Amino acid sequence: MSQLSKNLILVGFMGSGKSTLGKKIANKMQLPFVDTDEEIELRLNRSIPKIFEEFGESHFRALEQTFLEQFPANFHGVIAVGGGMPCHNNNLDLLLNLGTVVYLKRSPKELYQRLIHAKKSRPLLSKLNPDELLQYIESTLKLREPNYEKAHHILGRDEQTVDAVLRIISPNSE
């Protein structure tokens, strides 16, 4: 199997499965895996909800930007990116320069099904009731999707498997 020629960067809305798929791909390719939320949590020694509560969203966005600006040039692996990262500051350009960006596209209804029981760890969602959650997903996805869709590749639900991603990003691999 051939190696990835560049970093693989997974972007998409909360709940689209970036970290789960990213870890599987990294495992299969025996490459390091980075989750931007986990790295920021480690640096601040606080969970994402705690960071939002103590410092607010705009501080979190600044942390995301600094994280990307300081990202080690010699890293070679798979990166799962917080859902809002490509939609703030100059992060999208930084990501597009850092490697092959893949958007894991999901419909609002699918995202709702995946997020309804996974709101607690996500400060932007945790206080929303089910109706508000669906509305938030629909309206925020509409705003964010133009950014997500600037990815090098856009994968629909059925293509979001390890083998399909590897085929798409390195078509000559076995």
Binding site for ligand S3P (CB under 6 A): 14, 37, 48, 82-84, 122-124
CB of 112: closest distance to ligand S3P in angstroms? 14
Q: Say whether 146 sits in a helix, a strand or coil.
A: helix
CB of 69: closest distance to ligand S3P in angstroms? 17
Query: What are the start-end ranges of the E strands in 55-136?
Result: 78-80, 99-104
CB of 122: closest distance to ligand S3P in angstroms? 5
CB of 3: closest distance to ligand S3P in angstroms? 26
Nearer to ligand S3P, 60 or 166 (CB): 60
CB of 118: closest distance to ligand S3P in angstroms? 8
Report the candidate in 39, 45, 42 with the shortest Cα–Cα distance to residue 19.
39
List, in order, residues 6 or more apart from 63 with CB less than 8 Å away.
40, 43, 44, 51
Residue 9's DSSP bridge partners are 79, 101
**Distance (Å, rounded) from C-alpha 120 to C-alpha 98?**
31
Nearer to ligand S3P, 76 or 114 (CB): 114
Nearer to ligand S3P, 84 or 170 (CB): 84
Nearer to ligand S3P, 60 or 170 (CB): 60
* 111 C-beta neighbours (distance < 10 Å), count: 22
Nearer to ligand S3P, 105 or 122 (CB): 122
The helix/strand count (H/E) of the chain reads as: 8, 5
